[in-house]
Amino acid sequence: MILITGANGHLGGATIDFLLKKNPNLKIKALVRSEEKGKKLKNERIEFAVGDYLDYGSLVNAMKDVETLLLISSSTIGDRHAQHVNAIKAAKQAGVKHIVYTSVLKGSPGSKFTAANDHVKTENDLKSSGINYTIMRNTYYADFLPDIIGNAIESGVIYYSAGNAKINFAARRDMAEANAVVISDVTNHQNKIYEMTSGKAYTFTDIAEILSSITSKEIKYTDVPIEALKENIVKAGMPNEVAELMASIAESMKVGEFDYCDTALEKLLGRKPVDLKAFLKSVYQK
Ligand SMILES: NC(=O)c1ccc[n+]([C@@H]2O[C@H](COP(=O)([O-])OP(=O)(O)OC[C@H]3O[C@@H](n4cnc5c(N)ncnc54)[C@H](OP(=O)(O)O)[C@@H]3O)[C@@H](O)[C@H]2O)c1
């Protein structure tokens, strides 16, 4: 039995779709945070368990008879590492044989990205857990780029704080498909760490040029100081802790932490990952 956490989320949900397509006879258990969310997922090939990373007992129950766990990193800010610790300990207690964990590109201890530290600690916990693991170190989702681009198509300016650094964006659905490939054959991916990137990194000036060519409108990139970015996020109504996290992402991009290309995703998919140009076309071409 396979358990997918974050099953209502974008990455978990898409991974389930790919798993079902690739393995016609596979039975999947989905971890959700409420009955209601589970009912939305349920079909003859998916059962669900209600559980929360913060509720250890619920995790042990959910992991009963589970051999492979896809541990999707938590989306909450603050106590993420403690949540992951609960999940790994519960997996140990329930006898899970293999954990696939979604981490961050390069998993660097000194990263400017504040959430990276949770990933680094979780990776270390996994390695010392005695359970087989595969770590999927995901680069930044291309899917979040439209949030950064905002109304630039109308205003003609992208305001962000990544300087002239190149950033590797990859499509979240490609990462989901790669999760499904690994989960379908875990023995071939035992104790491996994969840097999940597309084939090319781009600067925000490149992105502005790509958008100009797609929309036939003149679009420029203007770099703004990190503090100004943070203030704008708060002004847009986001909580301070979210603004801090978002600003730390821009900062990590600016120092080149996402300027990296690896072939792991291409090898897992057996095809080229979606390039950012194609991704942006799919969003902005009318
Ligand atoms: N690489 C990137 O660019 C990037 C960007 C953003 C986030 N991430 C990370 O990647 C993960 C997956 O991305 P996504 O797009 O699928 O995020 P998402 O759509 O927000 O999904 C996150 C999932 O985590 C579940 N979750 C949150 N707290 C939980 C808890 N305490 N116990 C159990 N489940 C919990 C949520 O459950 P509910 O459905 O009940 O809310 C949701 O299903 C995120 O959680 C985050 O760690 C990566």
Task: Examine the pLDDT at 183 and tell me if it is beyond 90.
Answer: yes
Please report, for the domain that includes residue 50, its CATH number: 3.40.50.720
In a domain, 215, yes or no: no
Identify any residues that bridge with 133 across adjacent strands, giving them in sequence order: 99
Q: pLDDT-derived band of residue 127, with 50, 70 and 90 as boundaries?
A: very high
In a domain, 232, yes or no: no
Q: How close is the Cα of 8 to the center of ligand 1, in Å?
A: 9
- % of the chain residues with pLDDT over 90: 92
Rounded to 5, what percent of the chain is helix, strand, coil?
A: 50, 20, 35
Q: In what order do the strands lie in the sheet with 28-32?
A: 46-50, 28-32, 2-4, 68-71, 98-104, 132-138, 192-196
Which region among 26-30, 97-101, 222-226 has the lowest average model confidence (pLDDT)?
Answer: 26-30
Q: Residue 75: its pLDDT value, please?
A: 95
Q: How close is the Cα of 175 to the center of ligand 1, in Å?
A: 14
> What average pLDDT is seen over the chain?
96
Task: Examine the pLDDT at 193 and tell me if it is beyond 90.
Answer: yes
What domain range includes position 80?
Answer: 2-139+171-198+260-274
What letter does residue 73 receive in the DSSP assignment? P
Task: Examine the pLDDT at 179 and tell me if it is beyond 90.
Answer: yes
- The H or E element spanning position 93 is helix 80-94
Nearest CA to ligand 1 atom 19: 9
Tell whether ligand 1 has an atom less than 6 A from the beta carbon of residue 53. yes
In a domain, 175, yes or no: yes
The first and second tokens of residue 107, run together, are: 């998993």
DSSP 143-212: GGHHHHHTTHHHHSEEEES-TT--B-EE-HHHHHHHHHHHHTTGGGGTTEEEEE--S--B-HHHHHHHHH
Q: Residue 26: its pLDDT value, please?
A: 86
Q: Residue 24: its pLDDT value, please?
A: 84
Q: How close is the Cα of 12 to the center of ligand 1, in Å?
A: 8
Q: Given the CA of residue 14, which atom of ligand 1 is nearest to it?
A: 16
In a domain, 40, yes or no: yes
Q: Given the CA of residue 5, which atom of ligand 1 is nearest to it?
A: 34
What pTM, to 2 d.p., does this model score?
0.97
Number of residues that make up the chain: 286
Nearest CA to ligand 1 atom 15: 10
Q: Residue 286: its pLDDT value, please?
A: 83
**pLDDT (tens digit per residue) in 104-119:** 999 899 999 999 999 9
Q: How close is the Cα of 142 to the center of ligand 1, in Å?
A: 16
In a domain, 230, yes or no: no
Identify any residues that bridge with 102 across adjacent strands, giving them in sequence order: 136
**pLDDT (tens digit per residue) in 145-171:** 999 999 999 999 999 999 999 999 999
Nearest CA to ligand 1 atom 13: 11
Q: Residue 115: its pLDDT value, please?
A: 93
In a domain, 180, yes or no: yes
Q: Residue 44: its pLDDT value, please?
A: 74
Q: Residue 43: its pLDDT value, please?
A: 78
**pLDDT (tens digit per residue) in 40-79:** 887 778 999 999 999 999 999 999 999 999 999 999 988 8
Q: Residue 54: its pLDDT value, please?
A: 97
Distance CA 169, CA 65 (A): 36
Q: Residue 120: its pLDDT value, please?
A: 97
Q: pLDDT-derived band of residue 38, with 50, 70 and 90 as boundaries?
A: confident
Identify any residues that bridge with 140 across adjacent strands, giving them in sequence order: 169
CB 61 within 8 A of CB 31: no
Q: Residue 39: its pLDDT value, please?
A: 85
Q: Residue 255: its pLDDT value, please?
A: 97
Task: Reduce the DSSP state of residue 69 to 3 states and report it.
Answer: strand
Domains of the chain: total = 1
Q: Residue 40: its pLDDT value, please?
A: 83
CB 252 within 8 A of CB 235: no
Q: Given the CA of residue 76, which atom of ligand 1 is nearest to it?
A: 28
Mutate to test the pocket of ligand 1, among 15, 35, 72 (most ligand atoms within 8 A of CB): 72
Task: Count the alpha carbons within 13 Å of 34 in the hemisphere toward its beta carbon.
Answer: 3
